[in-house]
Amino acid sequence: MISTMIFPGRYIQGYGAIKRLGAEIKRMGKSGYLICSSTVFTRILPEIRNELEKEVAISAGQFGTECSDQEIERLRSLAEKAGSEVIVGMGGGKVIDTAKAVAHLLDLPVISMPTVAANDAPCSALSVIYTPEGVFDHLMYHPRNPDAVLVDTQIIAEAPYRFLAAGMGDALSTWFEAESCQKKHAPNSTNTGDPGSMTGYALAHLCYESLLEYGVSARKACEAKIVTPALEHIIETNTLLSGLGFESCGIAGAHGIQVGFTALKETHLYLHGEVVAFGTLATLFLNDKLPDIIDEVYDFCEAVGLPTTLEEIGVVNPSEADLITVARKTLQKDNPIYNEPVPVNEESIINAIKAADNEGKLRKS
């Protein structure tokens, strides 16, 4: 049996790491096109632009609202007109996924620079594409991972804590989905059809262990907007370990159910990792996990401020029709729910969602 792992070309993390951006662009080309979130475009870029332009020529474009085919094409056209030789994505996961897609279409190197540790998009060789309305559409696989990932922990510490918590929610799914894929002998997310390797599964488990060990301390540091070793560990966990784990081991029910919830507009106000966290809780019941594991995961979610009820992802008193809509979206062809080692159908998914919600409510009562 052949297994496959893939990695970003270089991973750089630390306090003030943004100062390395010019050198990283210069290492790959003579000019960079920066695709920026609104916060980066209006606050961060003006502060660094003069120093950056001493090293390399840059142009910049502001990201819209969704990583959609339309937004990718708009920014691809702008980057092409600028004649840039390197694409840089600066912002959250959708900004970075858009930058990766633009670089792919232009056959240019790409640098990921997350300004929040809210998901594991920065390291991967794929982009999650949504409709302009925010409903999941399809995956776009790229021929290689980002050429560099640059993570400034000072910037991430200054972002609202909610983003770090969402990143922990995304990372929380990594081991449970890897375990499901391992049991099912399911392919990982490298687009090769191959399963994960011993190294991949070990990194996925380390991701879970790191969350349990450092998550609460990292929350305190981030809420105080200070960089501590615990915060550094969780930023690396959310960004690198989770990225390597999901891509080289595979995804399953947690992300499958998150995709299902995109069918309900009320969840669009919540971050990807927040909804994935609830999806992870649902898969604990789908897989009939032991009570001590369920308690451990719920305790962690409560300690770091992740949702444990449907209401906390915007789904208040859902009708049976709402839950059927979620289940049917989850069960669409190619959804990773089929990487779970147990049979899945509308009833089992709805019951798992209800069980997770009920457990969360009981613990709050």
pLDDT at residue 294, as a whole number: 98
In the predicted model, is pLDDT for residue 21 greater than 90? yes
Task: Compute the average pLDDT of residues 89-110.
Answer: 97
pLDDT tens sequence across 167-192: 999 999 999 999 999 999 999 999 99
For the domain spanning 161-364, the CATH number is 1.20.1090.10
pLDDT at residue 150, as a whole number: 98
In the predicted model, is pLDDT for residue 1 greater than 90? no
pLDDT tens sequence across 150-163: 999 999 999 999 99
pLDDT tens sequence across 193-214: 999 999 999 999 999 999 999 9
Q: How high does pLDDT run on average in the chain? A: 97
List the domain boundaries for the chain.
11-157, 161-364
Percent of the chain exceeding pLDDT 90 equals: 98
pLDDT at residue 8, as a whole number: 97
pLDDT at residue 340, as a whole number: 98
Percent of the chain exceeding pLDDT 70 equals: 100
Instruction: Considering the domain delimited by 11-157, tell me its CATH architecture.
Output: 3-Layer(aba) Sandwich (3.40)
* 11-157 and 161-364, same CATH topology: no
Per-residue pLDDT band at 65 (split at 50, 70, 90): confident
pLDDT at residue 143, as a whole number: 95
Per-residue pLDDT band at 280 (split at 50, 70, 90): very high
pLDDT tens sequence across 303-359: 999 999 999 999 999 999 999 999 999 999 999 999 999 999 999 999 999 999 999
- Cα–Cα distance, 274 to 181 (Å, whole number): 22
pLDDT tens sequence across 119-159: 899 999 999 999 999 888 999 999 999 999 999 999 999 99
In the predicted model, is pLDDT for residue 113 greater than 90? yes
pLDDT at residue 102, as a whole number: 98
